[in-house]
Amino acid sequence: MTQSHFDALIVGAGFSGIYQLHKLLSQGFSVKGIDAAGDVGGTWYWNRYPGAMSDTESYLYRYSWDKEDLVKYHWKDHYVKQTEVLAYLNHIVERYDLRKHMQFSTELEHAQYDEVRNVWVVECSNGQIYTTRYLITALGLLSKTNYPRIAGIETFLGEMYHTGKWPGTHDFANKRVGIIGNGSTGVQVMTAIAKQVKHLTSFQRTPQYSVPSGDGPVSKEYRDSINARWDEIWGQVRDSNVAFGFEESKIPTMSVSAEERERIFEEAWQKGNGFRFMFWTFNDVTTDEAANEEACKFIRKKIGETVKDPEKARKLQPDDFYARRPLCDAGYYEQFNRDNVDIVSLRETPIEAITETGITLSNGTKYDLDVLIFATGFDAVDGNYTRLAIKGRDGVSLRDHWAENGGPTTYLGSFVPGFPNLFMLTGPNSPFTNLPPTIETQVEFISDLIFRAEVSPKGSTASARVNGEATNGATKPSPPGPVIEALPESEQKWTQECKDLCENSLFKKTSSWIFGANIPGKTQTVMFYFGGLAAYRKVLKEVVDGGFVGFRDF
Ligand code: FAD
Ligand code: NA7
């Protein structure tokens, strides 16, 4: 009979779920990993659209904990492409023999905490029922796809794609392609397909600021220099704010002359990377309106210089703050110099309807299309939770708990009072960073917490368990076992801290998925911890050193 009870059930097999599975298995727990997808990879399983790649530099978009693998597993370009990230995650799964602990095409639909038995009862789409003491959700913060509500969307007879659920293959040669969405994803798709298609039309609602990525092959010397410095590199990353491998600037924009400002922006432009342009140049680009405008002016000038057709250039020029997730590209604006690439400003002429043959605008203009691509993003952060029935104490659902709180709330991005032994990886109000280092931080914290609760008496050093049995003489606690639960005041305090931290942020004044503004009807609220990774790690250390403060005693 297939085993259906585990110490821990991990839902999601992307960066987060894979490491969490490995970590708990290596501590001796019985663990199962499930995913709705057909295989491992998470984001990189689903987002197979042309041009899909990281905007974190390759050497930092990976796990830090396997030193041998860091040196041996090569990366060829400055950015990792979707197939490469997927291959890397598969490689880790094989290297640690994790696949036998995973089950795919298995979607968690319903989870209920049973207070008497102190277990979570999890029901899946394929009828499978699991019980588990610890339910660890690694559902992804950018994984519930968002389709726009546009009249007639279901009538289109051509090929339709969403970037976040891209099938294995496509052939756009000689086809008229329309794309809605010009965020990170839309920019990548357009840059990749412009030269392959007969005609490409970008239906753009809000113009974006994008800077060059600086992609290209890495030299052996570059790789060797990185390979010689891994400890230093990860140390710097963990000690930084956004964890992108550079020191964040400490200089205000207006503290230098106009010439010096131009020089610094130009240097960042030449080096490439969106986060570097936003956070390495000056320390107030995202907090001071005048500083922000300087960055905006620089990028607008570059767009004007790059795009030859003044009308296309005008439509591509953003006029709001430079305060969304910063984009970078491999020649996005250049594509608009091609005769087969056009842009429609939806702010000037909104879409009236999608029809059987294409798109009709409010002024009656019709665009006949063979292919329609939705690069319209995700119901981010909490979207993958609120769509599910996850019920804690007294049958209260997570959705209702968050609705009552006016948005998704947690303690430390992972814990919610009333939902004992439920731990979220990259849950609401987790750090806004390059994600693998934050994921590792959370996985390690959660694993320590579980280990402390299960094996190691308060204050003692955790030691290994093998096959579910303690090796240090401690016996497995008899049911109902440990109950790890955040205190309501911890959740309130953390939520308030996250709100306070972005009080002066221009991100908050700019409409994007980061605050939930991209989904009609969604409560707009703070969904990230903007204090940075170093500060977050310091908080976690204080929590541990204080004997896991903020949790009910267990
Ligand atoms: P995911 O990779 O999203 O995995 C979540 C998994 O959970 C999915 O496989 C999903 O099928 C599964 N799942 C969800 N709900 C259920 C359920 N109910 N039952 C079962 N399974 C479920 N981040 C960066 O830091 N740098 C980048 O350069 C970067 N580039 C990105 C590019 C794109 C196109 C996208 C979409 C995201 C990018 N991100 C980037 C963010 C990226 O999501 C994270 O870096 C990382 O991959 C997240 O890993 P994860 O395991 O937490 O979540
Ligand atoms: P984003 O950044 O949310 O971008 C979505 C794009 O889709 C954006 O240009 C939106 O315009 C556009 N959009 C969404 N709905 C509509 C409707 N109804 N009509 C027209 N245009 C629409 O998603 P991405 O996938 O690009 O990136 C998400 C993250 O994944 C990214 O930050 C990386 O971290 C990886 P808008 O700007 O809202 O006017």
CATH class of 153-374: alpha beta
142 CA to centre of ligand 1 in angstroms: 6
* Higher pLDDT among residues 428 and 469, named by residue: 428
Mean pLDDT of the 172-180 span? 97
Query: Are the CB atoms for 414 and 442 separated by under 8 Å?
Result: yes
CB-hemisphere CA count at 13 Å for 183?
19
Q: Could you read off the pLDDT of 282-327 as tens digits, one per residue?
A: 999 999 999 999 999 999 999 999 999 999 999 999 999 999 999 9
Tell me if 243 CB under 6 Å of ligand 1: no
Ligand 2 pocket test, pick from 147, 205, 514, 519 with the greatest ligand atom count within 8 Å of Cβ, gives 205
**CATH 3.50.50.60 boundaries in the chain:** 3-144+380-545, 153-374
pLDDT level of residue 174 (50, 70, 90 thresholds) = very high
What number is the average pLDDT over the span 258-277?
98
pLDDT value of position 433: 98
Angle between helical axes of 15-26 and 435-454 (0-180°, round to 10) = 30
ipTM over cut 0.95? yes
45 lines ligand 1 (CB under 6 A): yes
Nearest ligand, CA of residue 344? 2
Is the overall model pTM greater than 0.90, yes or no?
A: yes
Strands (E), 146-215: 159-162, 176-180, 199-204, 210-212
Q: Which of 210, 376, 379, 515 to mutate to test the pocket of ligand 2 (most atoms within 8 A of CB)?
A: 376
pLDDT score at 456: 65
Cα–Cα separations (whole angstroms), residue 44 to 15, 90, 105, 390: 9, 11, 16, 26
Mean predicted confidence (pLDDT) in 485-509: 97
Which amino acid would we find at residue 143?
S
Strand 210-212 versus strand 430-431 pairing type:
unpaired
* Res. 553 pLDDT band, cuts 50 70 90: confident
Distance (Å) from CA 164 to ligand 1 centroid:
10
Alpha helices in 169-219 (DSSP H): 184-193
Closest ligand 2 atom to Cα of 327: 32
> Is the CB of 223 inside a 6 Å radius of any atom of ligand 2?
no
**Ligand 2 contact, 346 CB (< 6 A):** yes
Regarding the domain delimited by 3-144+380-545, which CATH topology (the fold level of the hierarchy) does it fall under? FAD/NAD(P)-binding domain (3.50.50)
pLDDT tens digit sequence for 319-376: 999 999 999 999 999 999 999 999 999 999 999 999 999 999 999 999 999 999 999 9
Check if 111 has its Cβ closer than 6 Å to any atom of ligand 1.
no
Best mutation site among 79, 139, 162, 388 for ligand 1, i.e. most ligand atoms within 8 A of its Cβ? 139
185 CB near ligand 2 (under 6 Å): yes
